[in-house]
Structure formats: C-alpha cells, structure tokens
Amino acid sequence: MDNLIKSLITLALTLFVIGCSSTGKIDYMVAGVGTENGNAIWGRSVVFDDEWGIPSGAIECCYAQAGGTVSVYNQKFPEKVAVEWLDKSENRIYYGEVAIDKNGYKLAKTLPAYTWVSTGEVEENIRPYLIVGMGETGEIKVWLSNTSSGMNRTGRVLHELGSGQAQWRENNS
C-alpha cells in the first residue's frame, strides 16, 4: 500500500511540474513587428525571453500585421518580450516588457487554415506568426496569427497573447 501511495504522489507531482513548466518548442514560426499606420518609429530592440529577437530598424506600418519579420526554428515558444523604440516625432524612447500568455503555444499548434481571396485556394501549410505591435502612445501588444496579415485572405485569426504600457524617457542623443 505504501508503494501505491508513493507512486500516486510521484505521479501527481510529475503532472503538476509538467503542467507548470514553460512552454514547448515550436519547429518553425515567424516573428514580426508593426505600428499604427502613420506612426513611423525606429525599433531599437525586440527580444524574446532574453535570448533571441527581431532585427531592429524603421517601422511604419501596420498594427497587428507582421512586418520586419524573422524566421525562428526549433525555439521555445516565448514567455515574454522586451521592446524599445524611438519615436522621433515626440523625441521619446519607449521601453517595456510584456508577459506572453502560455496558452499561445497550444494555440500555435492548432491554428486553422485560411483562404486566398484571389485564387480561392485554401492554405493549409500554416506557420504561426508572433506579432509585436508598438502603439503611438506607448502601447505594447503581442498577437498570434495564422498569417502575416488579412490582405487577400479570409479566415485569418488574431489572438491577443499579451499587452502592456511602455515607459518613456527623453531622447538626449
């Protein structure tokens, strides 16, 4: 009886640890950035889990769409993203960190197909798109989608996985 109780306790603890562990690895996904149309910014850094990131540069469009993308192979689905960008029109440097919902990993594995409007073809080779949006007053959003944008597509899904408000400081350079 003692062995049965010990086995059940061990099994329960193992399931608890697995359930609370970090997210799993994704074979392939695309990560990208965007901002509101008309809000030209300069991305200084976008870093996931302090390990990997998206190359920085000019970002001029489009909120909830993946621009300036990077392909990611065999990487753990991220749990947080840290961003920093320069808004020249306000002469401000925005910076912040957002937690990413751990359910994103499960959603990424089950993203649905979408249809190309121009051809009617159903796209079933779905790549998860992790999109970071930086708003003109410092909003940070993280979405997961089955495609980079809704342009020429029907059936696009867009799951919000995290949001936050960036802090800012004057740009002294």
Round to whole Å and give the CA distance between 34 and 32: 7
Segment 120-168, tens digit of pLDDT = 999 999 999 999 999 999 999 999 999 999 999 999 999 999 999 999 9
Name the pTM for this structure: 0.85
Confidence of residue 12 (pLDDT cuts 50, 70, 90): very low
Helices (H), 87-139: 103-109
**pLDDT tens, position by position, 63-94:** 999 988 999 999 999 999 999 999 988 999 99
User: Is the Cα torsion angle 161, 94, 30, 52 positive or negative in sign?
Assistant: negative
- Residue 22 phi, psi (nearest 5): -70, 170
